Amino acid sequence: DRWYPSSKICHCCGAIKKNLKLSDRLYRCACGYIEDRDFNASLNLRDAVTYEVA
One-letter amino acid for residue 44 of the chain: N
Give the pLDDT of residue 15: 96
DSSP, collapsed to helix, strand or coil, labels residue 51 as coil
Give the pLDDT of residue 4: 83
Q: What is the Cα–Cα distance from 34 to 17, expressed in whole angstroms?
A: 13
Read off the pLDDT of residues 14-53 as tens digits, 9 standing for 90 and up.
999 999 999 999 999 999 999 999 999 999 999 987 655 5
Q: Quote the pTM value.
A: 0.81
